[in-house]
Structure 1
Amino acid sequence: MNTEPLHIVCPHCHTTNRVRADQLGAAPDCGRCHRPLFDGHPVALNSEAFERHVGRSQIPVLVDFWAPWCGPCRMMAPAFEAAARQLEPHVRLAKVDTEAEPQLAARFGIRSIPTLALFVGGREVARQAGAMGQADIVRWVQAVLASTR
Protein backbone atom coordinates (compact mmCIF):
# COMPACT_ATOMS: atom_id res chain seq x y z
CA MET A 1 0.00 0.00 0.00
CA ASN A 2 1.48 3.31 -1.13
CA THR A 3 0.98 6.08 1.43
CA GLU A 4 3.28 8.59 -0.28
CA PRO A 5 1.53 11.93 -0.86
CA LEU A 6 0.90 12.88 -4.48
CA HIS A 7 0.28 16.34 -5.87
CA ILE A 8 -3.18 16.45 -7.47
CA VAL A 9 -4.41 19.64 -9.12
CA CYS A 10 -8.07 20.50 -8.52
CA PRO A 11 -10.12 20.57 -11.75
CA HIS A 12 -12.26 23.40 -10.35
CA CYS A 13 -9.94 25.96 -8.70
CA HIS A 14 -6.60 24.57 -10.02
CA THR A 15 -5.04 24.46 -6.54
CA THR A 16 -2.40 21.79 -5.97
CA ASN A 17 -3.47 19.33 -3.26
CA ARG A 18 -1.50 16.62 -1.48
CA VAL A 19 -3.31 13.29 -1.47
CA ARG A 20 -1.93 9.97 -0.28
CA ALA A 21 -1.69 7.53 -3.18
CA ASP A 22 -3.76 4.95 -1.30
CA GLN A 23 -6.54 7.55 -0.84
CA LEU A 24 -7.02 8.43 -4.54
CA GLY A 25 -10.01 6.10 -4.84
CA ALA A 26 -11.66 7.48 -1.67
CA ALA A 27 -13.20 10.51 -3.43
CA PRO A 28 -10.82 13.17 -2.04
CA ASP A 29 -11.93 16.80 -2.00
CA CYS A 30 -9.91 19.92 -2.68
CA GLY A 31 -8.55 21.56 0.46
CA ARG A 32 -9.34 25.01 -0.94
CA CYS A 33 -12.72 24.85 -2.74
CA HIS A 34 -13.92 21.58 -1.10
CA ARG A 35 -15.16 20.19 -4.44
CA PRO A 36 -14.23 16.66 -5.60
CA LEU A 37 -10.74 16.27 -7.06
CA PHE A 38 -12.19 13.66 -9.43
CA ASP A 39 -15.68 13.95 -10.89
CA GLY A 40 -15.49 11.71 -13.96
CA HIS A 41 -15.35 14.61 -16.42
CA PRO A 42 -12.45 16.01 -18.45
CA VAL A 43 -11.28 19.43 -17.30
CA ALA A 44 -11.12 22.27 -19.84
CA LEU A 45 -7.70 23.90 -19.73
CA ASN A 46 -6.45 27.31 -20.76
CA SER A 47 -2.70 27.99 -20.91
CA GLU A 48 -2.31 28.78 -17.22
CA ALA A 49 -4.36 25.79 -16.05
CA PHE A 50 -2.48 23.56 -18.52
CA GLU A 51 0.83 24.50 -16.89
CA ARG A 52 -0.54 23.69 -13.45
CA HIS A 53 -2.15 20.37 -14.36
CA VAL A 54 0.62 19.04 -16.57
CA GLY A 55 3.52 20.56 -14.64
CA ARG A 56 2.42 19.96 -11.05
CA SER A 57 0.17 16.89 -11.07
CA GLN A 58 1.85 13.64 -10.13
CA ILE A 59 -0.66 11.51 -11.99
CA PRO A 60 -0.59 11.19 -15.79
CA VAL A 61 -2.59 13.79 -17.74
CA LEU A 62 -4.28 12.84 -21.02
CA VAL A 63 -4.99 15.94 -23.12
CA ASP A 64 -7.45 16.06 -26.02
CA PHE A 65 -6.45 18.86 -28.39
CA TRP A 66 -9.67 19.70 -30.24
CA ALA A 67 -11.71 22.52 -31.82
CA PRO A 68 -15.46 23.28 -31.76
CA TRP A 69 -15.74 23.25 -35.57
CA CYS A 70 -14.13 19.79 -35.88
CA GLY A 71 -16.66 17.04 -36.64
CA PRO A 72 -14.44 14.12 -35.53
CA CYS A 73 -13.62 16.05 -32.33
CA ARG A 74 -17.31 16.46 -31.50
CA MET A 75 -17.91 12.82 -32.39
CA MET A 76 -15.13 11.67 -30.01
CA ALA A 77 -16.20 13.91 -27.10
CA PRO A 78 -18.65 11.42 -25.51
CA ALA A 79 -16.03 8.63 -25.73
CA PHE A 80 -13.43 10.88 -24.09
CA GLU A 81 -15.94 11.75 -21.36
CA ALA A 82 -16.64 8.05 -20.76
CA ALA A 83 -12.91 7.31 -20.69
CA ALA A 84 -12.55 9.92 -17.91
CA ARG A 85 -15.00 7.99 -15.76
CA GLN A 86 -13.00 4.82 -16.38
CA LEU A 87 -9.43 6.15 -16.00
CA GLU A 88 -9.87 8.50 -13.03
CA PRO A 89 -8.48 8.79 -10.38
CA HIS A 90 -5.23 7.39 -11.78
CA VAL A 91 -5.21 9.58 -14.92
CA ARG A 92 -6.54 13.14 -15.28
CA LEU A 93 -8.32 13.78 -18.60
CA ALA A 94 -8.28 17.30 -19.98
CA LYS A 95 -9.33 19.18 -23.10
CA VAL A 96 -7.58 22.06 -24.84
CA ASP A 97 -9.61 24.04 -27.38
CA THR A 98 -7.00 24.82 -30.05
CA GLU A 99 -9.08 27.76 -31.31
CA ALA A 100 -9.09 29.42 -27.89
CA GLU A 101 -5.50 28.39 -27.06
CA PRO A 102 -3.56 28.51 -30.36
CA GLN A 103 -0.25 29.05 -28.57
CA LEU A 104 -0.58 25.67 -26.83
CA ALA A 105 -1.38 23.97 -30.13
CA ALA A 106 1.66 25.61 -31.71
CA ARG A 107 3.93 24.80 -28.77
CA PHE A 108 3.11 21.11 -29.08
CA GLY A 109 3.08 21.04 -32.86
CA ILE A 110 -0.55 19.97 -33.14
CA ARG A 111 -1.12 19.54 -36.87
CA SER A 112 -4.38 17.61 -36.89
CA ILE A 113 -7.27 17.33 -34.49
CA PRO A 114 -8.35 15.54 -32.50
CA THR A 115 -4.94 14.68 -31.11
CA LEU A 116 -4.47 12.96 -27.76
CA ALA A 117 -1.22 13.61 -25.88
CA LEU A 118 -0.29 11.76 -22.70
CA PHE A 119 1.90 13.60 -20.20
CA VAL A 120 3.73 11.93 -17.32
CA GLY A 121 5.87 13.91 -14.92
CA GLY A 122 5.31 17.08 -16.93
CA ARG A 123 6.55 15.72 -20.25
CA GLU A 124 4.80 14.22 -23.24
CA VAL A 125 5.33 10.46 -23.46
CA ALA A 126 2.90 9.53 -26.27
CA ARG A 127 0.64 11.02 -28.92
CA GLN A 128 -2.22 9.67 -31.01
CA ALA A 129 -3.98 11.59 -33.78
CA GLY A 130 -7.52 10.86 -34.94
CA ALA A 131 -10.84 10.09 -33.30
CA MET A 132 -10.98 7.05 -31.03
CA GLY A 133 -13.71 5.22 -29.16
CA GLN A 134 -13.79 4.88 -25.38
CA ALA A 135 -12.33 1.37 -25.27
CA ASP A 136 -9.53 2.36 -27.65
CA ILE A 137 -8.66 5.45 -25.59
CA VAL A 138 -8.52 3.44 -22.37
CA ARG A 139 -6.55 0.60 -23.96
CA TRP A 140 -4.04 3.03 -25.53
CA VAL A 141 -3.47 4.92 -22.26
CA GLN A 142 -3.05 1.71 -20.25
CA ALA A 143 -0.60 0.28 -22.82
CA VAL A 144 1.50 3.46 -22.87
CA LEU A 145 1.58 3.68 -19.08
CA ALA A 146 2.53 0.00 -18.77
CA SER A 147 5.44 0.53 -21.18
CA THR A 148 6.72 3.64 -19.35
CA ARG A 149 6.94 2.03 -15.93
Structure 2
Amino acid sequence: MPDSFHVVCPACLAVNRVDPGKIAQGPTCGKCHGKILEPKPVTLTGRTFDAFLAKSDPPVLVDFWAPWCAPCRAMAPAFEQAAAALFPSVILAKLDTQEELAIADRLRIQGVPTMILFRGGREAARTSGARSASDLAAWARSNLS
Protein backbone atom coordinates (compact mmCIF):
# COMPACT_ATOMS: atom_id res chain seq x y z
CA MET A 1 0.00 0.00 0.00
CA PRO A 2 1.34 3.51 -0.78
CA ASP A 3 2.48 6.03 1.86
CA SER A 4 -0.87 7.81 1.45
CA PHE A 5 -3.84 7.80 -0.86
CA HIS A 6 -6.82 10.03 -1.61
CA VAL A 7 -10.43 9.31 -0.70
CA VAL A 8 -13.41 11.53 -1.41
CA CYS A 9 -15.79 12.28 1.44
CA PRO A 10 -19.20 10.97 0.36
CA ALA A 11 -20.94 13.74 2.31
CA CYS A 12 -19.15 16.93 1.22
CA LEU A 13 -16.98 15.67 -1.70
CA ALA A 14 -13.76 17.01 -0.18
CA VAL A 15 -10.68 15.05 -1.23
CA ASN A 16 -8.81 13.72 1.81
CA ARG A 17 -5.32 12.25 2.02
CA VAL A 18 -5.30 9.11 4.15
CA ASP A 19 -2.30 7.53 5.84
CA PRO A 20 -2.70 3.72 5.57
CA GLY A 21 -1.28 3.35 9.09
CA LYS A 22 -4.20 5.33 10.50
CA ILE A 23 -7.07 3.45 8.81
CA ALA A 24 -7.84 1.51 12.00
CA GLN A 25 -8.43 4.83 13.79
CA GLY A 26 -11.32 5.66 11.45
CA PRO A 27 -10.17 8.65 9.39
CA THR A 28 -12.50 11.62 9.21
CA CYS A 29 -12.97 14.32 6.58
CA GLY A 30 -10.83 17.40 7.06
CA LYS A 31 -13.71 19.60 5.93
CA CYS A 32 -16.95 18.19 7.42
CA HIS A 33 -15.39 15.78 9.98
CA GLY A 34 -17.59 12.87 8.82
CA LYS A 35 -16.16 9.38 8.50
CA ILE A 36 -14.54 8.88 5.11
CA LEU A 37 -13.31 5.31 5.07
CA GLU A 38 -15.25 2.52 6.74
CA PRO A 39 -15.63 -1.22 6.11
CA LYS A 40 -19.20 -0.75 4.84
CA PRO A 41 -20.75 0.45 1.58
CA VAL A 42 -21.03 4.15 0.81
CA THR A 43 -24.29 5.46 -0.66
CA LEU A 44 -23.73 7.42 -3.85
CA THR A 45 -26.16 9.80 -5.57
CA GLY A 46 -26.22 11.66 -8.84
CA ARG A 47 -24.51 14.56 -7.06
CA THR A 48 -21.66 12.47 -5.63
CA PHE A 49 -21.16 9.64 -8.14
CA ASP A 50 -18.71 11.10 -10.67
CA ALA A 51 -16.56 13.03 -8.19
CA PHE A 52 -16.33 10.09 -5.80
CA LEU A 53 -15.16 7.71 -8.53
CA ALA A 54 -12.80 10.11 -10.28
CA LYS A 55 -10.99 11.43 -7.22
CA SER A 56 -10.72 8.34 -4.97
CA ASP A 57 -7.45 6.44 -5.38
CA PRO A 58 -8.64 3.00 -4.24
CA PRO A 59 -10.79 1.04 -6.69
CA VAL A 60 -14.54 1.46 -6.14
CA LEU A 61 -16.99 -1.43 -6.56
CA VAL A 62 -20.49 -0.06 -7.13
CA ASP A 63 -23.67 -2.09 -6.67
CA PHE A 64 -26.35 -0.73 -9.00
CA TRP A 65 -29.62 -1.80 -7.41
CA ALA A 66 -33.30 -0.89 -7.08
CA PRO A 67 -35.62 -1.09 -4.06
CA TRP A 68 -38.19 -3.18 -5.96
CA CYS A 69 -35.57 -5.81 -6.90
CA ALA A 70 -35.82 -8.91 -4.68
CA PRO A 71 -32.36 -10.27 -5.65
CA CYS A 72 -30.88 -6.83 -4.85
CA ARG A 73 -32.43 -6.83 -1.39
CA ALA A 74 -31.37 -10.45 -0.81
CA MET A 75 -27.77 -9.64 -1.82
CA ALA A 76 -27.50 -6.53 0.40
CA PRO A 77 -26.09 -8.40 3.45
CA ALA A 78 -23.53 -10.16 1.24
CA PHE A 79 -22.47 -6.81 -0.22
CA GLU A 80 -22.00 -5.49 3.34
CA GLN A 81 -19.85 -8.53 4.18
CA ALA A 82 -17.81 -8.08 0.98
CA ALA A 83 -17.19 -4.44 1.97
CA ALA A 84 -15.64 -5.63 5.22
CA ALA A 85 -13.62 -8.34 3.46
CA LEU A 86 -12.19 -5.97 0.84
CA PHE A 87 -11.56 -3.05 3.22
CA PRO A 88 -9.44 -0.91 2.80
CA SER A 89 -8.07 -1.92 -0.61
CA VAL A 90 -11.47 -1.53 -2.34
CA ILE A 91 -14.26 0.89 -1.46
CA LEU A 92 -17.76 -0.53 -1.92
CA ALA A 93 -20.63 1.75 -2.85
CA LYS A 94 -24.32 1.51 -3.75
CA LEU A 95 -26.35 3.51 -6.24
CA ASP A 96 -30.15 3.30 -6.45
CA THR A 97 -30.90 3.08 -10.19
CA GLN A 98 -34.55 3.97 -9.62
CA GLU A 99 -33.49 7.32 -8.12
CA GLU A 100 -30.56 7.88 -10.48
CA LEU A 101 -31.91 6.91 -13.90
CA ALA A 102 -29.53 9.20 -15.79
CA ILE A 103 -26.46 7.42 -14.39
CA ALA A 104 -27.99 3.98 -15.01
CA ASP A 105 -28.75 4.99 -18.61
CA ARG A 106 -25.31 6.49 -19.17
CA LEU A 107 -23.64 3.29 -17.95
CA ARG A 108 -26.11 1.10 -19.86
CA ILE A 109 -27.28 -0.77 -16.78
CA GLN A 110 -29.79 -3.22 -18.23
CA GLY A 111 -30.55 -5.30 -15.17
CA VAL A 112 -30.07 -5.16 -11.44
CA PRO A 113 -28.16 -6.05 -9.45
CA THR A 114 -25.17 -5.08 -11.58
CA MET A 115 -21.76 -4.50 -10.03
CA ILE A 116 -19.12 -2.39 -11.75
CA LEU A 117 -15.54 -2.11 -10.55
CA PHE A 118 -14.05 1.32 -11.27
CA ARG A 119 -10.34 2.21 -11.23
CA GLY A 120 -9.39 5.84 -11.62
CA GLY A 121 -13.00 6.69 -12.43
CA ARG A 122 -13.15 4.25 -15.36
CA GLU A 123 -14.94 0.95 -15.64
CA ALA A 124 -12.53 -1.96 -15.16
CA ALA A 125 -14.99 -4.89 -14.91
CA ARG A 126 -18.71 -5.60 -14.73
CA THR A 127 -20.89 -8.47 -13.54
CA SER A 128 -24.63 -8.92 -13.11
CA GLY A 129 -26.73 -11.04 -10.80
CA ALA A 130 -26.78 -11.65 -7.07
CA ARG A 131 -23.58 -13.09 -5.60
CA SER A 132 -22.34 -14.26 -2.22
CA ALA A 133 -19.90 -12.16 -0.21
CA SER A 134 -17.01 -14.53 -0.88
CA ASP A 135 -17.81 -14.62 -4.61
CA LEU A 136 -17.99 -10.81 -4.79
CA ALA A 137 -14.67 -10.44 -2.96
CA ALA A 138 -12.98 -13.05 -5.16
CA TRP A 139 -14.38 -11.45 -8.32
CA ALA A 140 -13.17 -7.98 -7.27
CA ARG A 141 -9.70 -9.25 -6.35
CA SER A 142 -9.36 -11.15 -9.64
CA ASN A 143 -10.14 -7.97 -11.58
CA LEU A 144 -7.60 -5.84 -9.73
CA SER A 145 -4.53 -7.63 -11.08
Q: TM-score, normalised by structure 2?
A: 0.92
Could you say which residue in structure 2 is the equivalent of 1:140?
A: 139
AA paired with 1:121? G
Q: Percent identity?
A: 47
Q: Kindly indicate whether residue 66 of structure 2 is the aligned counterpart of residue 44 of structure 1.
A: no
AA paired with 2:40? H
Q: Kindly indicate whether residue 76 of structure 2 is the aligned counterpart of residue 62 of structure 1.
A: no
Q: Structure 2 matches for 1:80-95, cutoff 5 A?
A: 80-95=79-94
AA paired with 1:139? A
Length, aligned pairs only: 145
Q: 2 CA distance for matches of 1:108 and 1:2? A: 30
Could you say which residue in structure 2 is the equivalent of 1:129?
A: 128
Contact 1:24 1:90 in 2 (8 A): no
Q: TM-score, normalised by structure 1?
A: 0.90
Could you say which residue in structure 2 is the equivalent of 1:78?
A: 77
Contact 1:79 1:132 in 2 (8 A): yes
Could you say which residue in structure 2 is the equivalent of 1:115?
A: 114
Secondary structure at the aligned position of 2:30 is classed as: coil
AA paired with 2:141? Q
AA paired with 2:89? H
Judging by fraction of residues, say which structure has more helix: 1
Contact 2:7 2:37 in 1 (8 A): no
1:2/1:26 CA distance change after superposition, 3 Å: farther
Could you say which residue in structure 1 is the equivalent of 2:12?
A: 13
Q: 2 CA distance for matches of 1:133 and 1:2? A: 30
CA drift at 1:97: 0.4
AA paired with 1:46? T
Q: 2 CA distance for matches of 1:93 and 1:2? A: 20
Contact 2:71 2:113 in 1 (8 A): yes
C-alpha distance after superposition, 1:80-126 (max 9, x if no partner): 01111111211111111000000000000000100000000110000
AA paired with 2:77? P
Contact 1:67 1:73 in 2 (8 A): yes
Unpaired runs of 5+ in structure 1?
Answer: none
Could you say which residue in structure 1 is the equivalent of 2:96?
A: 97
